[in-house]
Amino acid sequence: MKNFIKIVFGSCLGVVMALVVVGLIGSFMMTRLISAGLSKPDVKANSVLKLSFDREIPEKTNNTEAAMYNFSEDPFLGLYEVAQCISHAKEDRNIKGIYLSLSSARLGNASADYIRDAILDFKESGKFVYAYCGNYGYSQGAYYLATAADKIMLHPLGGIDLRGFGTEIPFFKDMLDRIGVKMNVFYAGKYKGATEPFRLNELSDENRYQIREYIQDLYESFVEDIAQGRNLSVEEVKQAASNLYGRSADMALENNLIDAIQYEDEFYNEIRDQLDFDEDEKINFVGLNSYYKAKGKDLNLTAGSKIALIYAEGEIRGGEDQYGMITDDQYVPILRDIRKDDKVKAVVLRINSPGGDAYVSDEIWRETQLLREEGIPVIVSMGDVAASGGYYIACGADRIVAEPNTITGSIGVFGLIPNVQELMNEKLGIHMDTVQTAKYANGLINPFYPVGPEQASIMQEGIDRMYEAFLSRVAQGRNMTRDAVHEIAQGRVWTGEKAKEIGLVDQLGDLDDAIQLASEMAGTDDYRITEYPRLKDPMQKLIEDLTGQDLPSEISNRILSNRFPDIHRTLTSLEYLLSCQHPMARLPFELQLN
């Protein structure tokens, strides 16, 4: 009886506490929503737009794990919204210039290029763009963006991070051998380097060659843009990078990497001169989020026709919807709903993904084909990366638009299954035994037993079958033969520019170009853009986690992603790589301009 009373009392207390928590959160959210609705920021005359880019910029606003429980009024603005804000500022009479305050910038190559182009377009208005930073020594991407400015100023004790591009890949084979774990590796494509860290201790010749090729292409584009921005020759920029001429403010000035060495107050006086302000007059700096809230998005609510803009960013995985991931439970229904919407005249699929689960990739590809069968044009816009599974979901589109420095291709498939028999038997003293009614009743490949030749043959057969399906999808979508695709496939990675030359991409351009192309193919100039996925409100997400999901895991993941983003990305990708039950079509790395 006592235990019954305790259980009832505990249950009631838990319900009461849950109601109190939900009530407090609801009250907080209501207050925040009311205050947000009553306080739309005002952009004053003679304002300066201040751009920092000091946190992650997803493709779609708030579609990132860091925004999962973001209850502040500042959203994680998406790349398209950032560019739109800069475009608005170009025509805004109250904005007189841009201040680039860039100590770091965590952006991929294509994303940085997109924002830089928006800044260059802003300059055509005749308004000033000034860049100032205490130290550009933390990110090459920050300096790259700064070179779009009219003037670059630097603190006397600052420096510039300009050193060229390199890559580092960890290899785990020796470690796995030492702890008694053998990785059973199956792959199709001699350039498919994702499996190499588990079967080699260094890069293969093929993988080293392809990496050298595409990072050299990326570097050439990077250097050419900087040279143009700084009125230097390409060779001068390369010399500056090779000799670290930006390591001090004096050397940077001497080599024309910056325009002036100044303290912050001196820099502010430069801006006051541009605004015709007195020496002590306050400058009204407007942050990007404030400007976005003041101006809002470009919406044409009167238009009857719609162009569906689907942001497919992150790894491709099976299961429920996740922030910054492409899952079948989320994206397949989105595509089906769009197909049934008579107002949707075209689809733009914006892809920024290294790939992932091959089966999920095929499901998404199938839905794009059904859209086309309904007469709805599908145009793909490639961001930083649209490779492996990311290219799989792109290849069936009517047109593919990529940035010159997009990473794409990697048409290949692999599977990884660990064997832990030695670890269990010899290291831990744990032994497994089995009784089964058929040869493979406990699985074709069981991690506790060695893989025999017949099992390996069956597994490789499945990988080859998936690879052939991949080749077939690409051949069908690109009007090529299977052998022609195989020649440029085999897991090899290409830049967008090279991909266009070999027929994997139709044209070079950005998201705006893809939307314009969608408008032309739909035969309409009068349209509104409707964006997907529709993200859950942070409050809804929190309540779901409080009532049914693993909240401690969510919180620990978010803390790790905020404090140590590079480590978090590596660990989560590795975890998924080893846990996925399907063949994988994924890049073996992530590229960031830093």
Catalytic residues: 192, 388
Answer yes or no: are the C-beta atoms of 405 and 218 closer than 8 Å. Answer: yes
Rounded to 10°, the helix 109-123/205-230 angle is 10
| Per-residue tokens: 488 | 């440029």
Q: Would strands 399-402 and 507-508 be described as parallel, antiparallel, or unpaired?
A: parallel
DSSP H/E element including 291: helix 288-295
Closest to 149 measured CA to CA, from 132, 133, 135, 129? 129
Q: Up-side HSE of residue 402: CA atoms within 13 Å toward CB?
A: 30
CA separation, residue 564 to residues 42, 63, 66, 455, 557 (Å)? 36, 19, 12, 40, 10
What is the Cα–Cα distance from 314 to 194, expressed in whole angstroms? 17
Pairing of strands 128-133, 95-100: parallel
Q: In sequence order, which residues have a C-beta less than 8 Å from that of residue 557 and are 6 or more positions away?
A: 65, 568, 572
Q: What is the helix (H) or strand (E) element at residue 588, kind and residue range?
A: none
The residues pairing with 399 across neighbouring beta strands, listed in sequence order, are 379
Three-class DSSP category at 533: coil
What is the rounded distance in angstroms from the CA atom of residue 397 to the CA atom of residue 290?
37
Phi, psi at residue 95, to the nearest 5°? -95, 120
Q: Are 344 and 379 in contact (CB under 8 A)?
A: no
Cβ–Cβ contacts within 10 Å for residue 65, how many? 24
- How distant is the alpha carbon of residue 497 from its chain centre? 19
Report long-range pairs for 456-461 (Cβ below 8 Å, ≥24 apart): 456/184, 456/186, 459/184, 459/186, 459/415, 459/417, 460/186
- Phi, psi at 224, each rounded to 5°: -60, -40
> Phi and psi dihedrals of 435, rounded to 5?
-130, 130
Task: Please state whether 326 falls in left (phi above 0), alpha (psi between -120 and 50) or beta.
Answer: beta
Residues in the chain: 594
Q: Cβ of 399: how many Cβ atoms within 10 Å?
A: 18
Which bin fits 332, alpha (ψ -120 to 50), beta or left (φ > 0)? alpha
Q: Contact, 98 vs 288, CB < 8 A?
A: no
CB 198 within 8 A of CB 188: no
The pair of structure tokens assigned to 336 is 């089906």
